A = this chain, B = another copy of it.
Amino acid sequence: MTYCVAMNLAGGLVFVSDSRTNAGVDHIATFRKLHVFGVPGERLIVLQSAGNLATSQSVISLLRHRLNGEGEHLHTVSSLFAAATLVGDTVREVLSRTGGATLTQGVDLGCSFLLGGQIRGEAPALYNLYPQGNFIASTEDTPYFQIGESKYGKPILDRALSHQTSLQQALRCALISFDSTIRSNLSVGMPLDLLVYRANSLELPTGFRVHEGDAYFEEIRQQWCSGLRQLLGQLPPPPGDYWG
């Protein structure tokens, strides 16, 4: 499985992905799921992938290969909407090669993408691309998207995240969301790839890889865990009728 989250906030964009892929519990590997495209001072396009790795890798490979070609590509598209359309088309192109049900033998070859970034002249934007290649954009009401194993890490996002949340708080929130997921589900695992983009900077951040045992991540995991237990203990005691 996989877990990726991306946020489109007033201050910029936050992306965090895990790196575990698995086909059954005895076939686990580490693959990067966060991919950066762009031209400094002009555009940043970040892609995160979940789902069938053969499909998502092919899509990323084609997108990257075509940066040097003649046709329209991620470094020439005029808007982030056009970038999402191009990625969606590439997903359909890869899937159309896989043939019908006889060839896929019941295996789900679909994959999902989150696409976020900024192109000069536009505001930052974030899209959630479905396996069919169509997509939706984030809004101030719904400033984040998740793909993959999203349920364990959703409650903290629903409680603590809004469009006005600072990048710092949002990054902590994303990391806690990953901690919740990793603790409860074996198919999501370290290292994490993260990238923070400050709105209108048009910089290409290199991002950061959080490895197992990373001092900061361990510190906030522990603080969060002990803080939660303390918080639970400080809630008022259940009233008498709760005890039946």
Contacts and interface: CB of A to CB of B under 8 A. Distances in A.
Interface of A: 151-156, 158-160, 168-169, 171-173, 175-176, 180-181, 183-185, 194-196, 205-208, 210, 216, 219-220, 223-225, 227-229, 231-239, 241-244
Contacts of A216: 236, 238-239, 242
Oligomer: number of copies: 2
A232 B154 contact: no
Given A171-B242, A227-B234, A228-B160, A183 B155 contact: yes
A85 to B, nearest CB: 27
Nearest to A195: B244
A160 B90 CA distance: 45
Given A158-B184, A159-B183, A205-B244, A238 B172 contact: yes
B219 A236 contact: yes
B173 A237 contact: no
Nearest to A238: B171
Given A208-B241, A224-B235, 18 more contacts: A151-B152, A152-B154, A155-B155, A156-B232, A159-B183, A171-B238, A173-B232, A175-B238, A194-B242, A194-B244, A196-B242, A196-B243, A206-B244, A216-B238, A220-B236, A223-B234, A227-B234, A231-B231
Nearest to A210: B242
The dominant DSSP class at the A interface is helix
Contacts of A194: 242, 244
B229 A159 contact: yes
A210 B243 CA distance: 12
A107 to B, nearest CB: 20
Given A151-B152, A243-B208, A244-B195, A158 B183 contact: yes
Which has the most chain B C-beta neighbours within 10 Å: A184, A224, A228, A232?
A: A232
Contacts of A159: 183, 225, 228-229
A220 B236 CA distance: 7
